[in-house]
Amino acid sequence: MKIIMKFITYFSQKRLCYLFLAACTFFAACSKDFFNKQPLDAVSDATFWKTEKDALLALVGCYNTGAGWKGEDFWTPRSLLYLDLMAGNGSEKELIPDRVTDGTLNSAYWVTEGYWRNSYQKLTACNNFLDNIGKVEMDENKKAAMIGEVKTLRAYEYFNLALYFGGVPLVTKVLSIEEANNVLRASRDEVWDFAEAELIEGAAALPASRPASEQGRITAGAALAILGRLQMAKEKWAEAAATYKKIIDFDVYRIHPDFASLFSSGNVATSEFILTSQYQEDVYGHVLLQYMYPETWGGWHQFSPYNELVKAFECIDGKSIEESGLYDPSNPYENRDPRLDYTVLISDRSVFKGQTYIARPGTTSPDRFNRYNWSGYCIRKFMDESFNGNLMNFGGNWAIIRYPEVLLGYLESKLEAGDPIDQTLLDATINLVRGRQNVAMPKVTATGVESLRSVIRRERRVEFAFEGLRYFDVLRWGIAAQELNRQFTGMKLTNNPAGYKDFPVDDEGYLIYQRRNFKAGVNELWPIPLSELQINGNLTQNVGY
C-alpha cells in the first residue's frame, strides 16, 4: 500500500497536526523540563497524548515528509531521482547531485548533509511517537498496528543512513540537548541489525492490505519489502528470498499492464505500488515536473540522462546491443526495448503532446544540447500527457517500492543463494516484469549464474531508471568505482566521427560529455556532515574526508 497520507483526509484537523509537528521538531532540541510547564496555548506531550484521534494525528506527523520544494531525503521525488544521477544514470545541469560521486565530495556539502538532517528530523518524530503512544487509551490492536507503522518508518531511515554513511548514531528515544550532543556512532552492522529486527516486528503487526479508507498507510508488504532490501545489502540471500516470497504469497500486488501510466497523475490505486510518497494537486503537490520538463514544454530541463543508460536497454529480440543482430549503430534507437522510449526523450524521435523533442545543435530549439550543460537526452519518464496544470504543483504519487522490485529481488536472492533456477521461476518473476502488455519483451531463458546475473542487473537498471534504486544497487554489488570513474557520453551527433569537427565525439559518434572521478575506497560512503562534527566531538569521520 502507499504511504504519506494525503492531508486532505484530515483537513479539519490540519492546524492541530501542524502544531504537533512543530512541537515534535522543537522537542528534539529542548530538554524535557520545558514541557513540564504545560503551556495552554500550544500542543505539548503532557497534554496531547490522550485519545485515538491524538494518536492518529501524531502518526500523520511521522509520515509527513513535506510537499513543494522539500528535498534531500529518502522519500521525495527529486531526492530519489538525485540518487540515480549520483549513481551514473545521468547528470543535473548545475551538477548538484553529480558532486556526490565525481570525486569532489567533502563533509561541508549541503546535499549529503540534507539527507542526514532530514532523516534525523523524521527519526525524532518517530521516537517521540513511540515514547508516548503508551499513554493513549485506545484499542490495543489498532495501537499495535500504529506502532508497527512507525517502527517501519524508523527502520527505513536507519537502513538508508547506514547504507550511505556507514555507522551512524542509533537513537531510539527523544534526547535532551546534552544527550544529543554526545552520542556515538553505532556500526553499520549494529544499525542494520536493529532495523532488521524492527521490520520483522513491524511486519508482524501490520495487515497485508488495507481498505480504501486507509489508503496510504504502510502494510506488511511495505515493511517486508524494505526488509528485503536490507537483507540483500547484507547478502543474507536465503533470508531475502524468504522475505520476498512472503510478499508474493500475500497475493495482493500485480504487474500493471501499462508501464507509462504508472507515473501519471492518475496512478493512485494501482496494485503495483507497495510503498509510495503520496501527493495531491492543489493540496500537497511536488515540483519535480518543473525541474524535469524540457524548456520546450515550460520546464527547466534540469536533468540529462547519460548515453550509458540508453545503451543498457536491450533490443526487441531480448539481446543486448552488443549481441543483437537487430542493433544498427547508425540508427541506434530503433528496435529497442519499448521502455527506452517511455524513459528517455531522444532528439528528433520522441513526441510529447504532439510536438517533437529537438536537441540538435544548429537549431532554434530551446533544448538544443549546446545551449546549456546538457547531454542531448532528457527524462521522459514521469511526464504525464494528460497533465495540464502547474508544473510546480503535480499530484502524481511517487513510487518508492513497486512490485517488480519484489519479483526481481526474489529471483536475484534465489540465484545468489545457490538455489536452482528453472523456467518456471523465471516466468513467475523477471518474465512477468518484461511481459507487461505495452513492453512485451521476450522471455528470459538463461539459467546460468553469470549470464542470469547480468540479465537481472540490466533489468533492474532499465525498469527502475530514475526511481532511486541504482545507487543502492551499485553499492551493494561493489561496482560503484567501476561505474563512476569513467567518461560519460551523450546523444549521437554523427555517423562519421572521424570527419566530424563541431563537437567532441567518441568513435561511435556520441557526444563526449562528462568525466567522473569517483574515489575508490572513499566515496562508497558519504562524509559525516561537518556541522555534526563541530557540535559533537564524539563523532568520527569516514576515511578520506
Evaluate whether residue 188 is within a structural domain. yes
CATH number, domain with residue 65: 1.25.40.390
The whole-angstrom separation of Cα 248 and Cα 257 is 18
Evaluate whether residue 25 is within a structural domain. no
Arithmetic mean of pLDDT, 493-506: 98
Structure confidence at residue 39 (pLDDT):
53
The whole-angstrom separation of Cα 215 and Cα 226 is 19
**Hey, what's the cell of 288?**
519535480
Domain assignment of residue 240, given as a range:
48-282+397-485+515-535
Evaluate whether residue 17 is within a structural domain. no
Task: Calculate the alpha carbon distances from 276 to 77, 104, 113 in Å.
Answer: 10, 32, 24
The pLDDT of residue 268 is above 80: no
**286-333 pLDDT, tens digit each:** 999 999 999 999 999 999 999 999 999 999 999 999 999 999 999 999
Q: What are phi and psi of 400, to 5 degrees?
A: -90, -40
Bigger pLDDT: 18 vs 232 = 232
Evaluate whether residue 140 is within a structural domain. yes
> Helices 14-28 and 110-132: crossing angle, nearest 10°?
110
444: left (phi over 0), alpha (psi -120 to 50) or beta: beta
Cβ-contact 261, 311 below 8 angstroms: no
Q: Is 214 exposed, middle or buried (0-12, 13-18, 19+ CB in 10 A)?
A: middle
Q: What is the DSSP string of 160-221?
A: HHHHHHSS-----SPPPHHHHTT--PPPHHHHHHHHHHHHHHHHHHS-S---GGGTTS--HH
Evaluate whether residue 360 is within a structural domain. no
Q: Is 369 exposed, middle or buried (0-12, 13-18, 19+ CB in 10 A)?
A: buried
Evaluate whether residue 309 is within a structural domain. no
Evaluate whether residue 243 is within a structural domain. yes
Evaluate whether residue 110 is within a structural domain. yes
SS3 label, residue 324: coil
Q: How many helices and strands, by DSSP H and E, does the chain display?
A: 20, 10
Arithmetic mean of pLDDT, 39-66: 84
Q: Is 498 exposed, middle or buried (0-12, 13-18, 19+ CB in 10 A)?
A: exposed
**157-195 pLDDT, tens digit each:** 999 999 999 999 999 999 999 999 999 999 999 999 999
In the chain, how many domains are there?
1
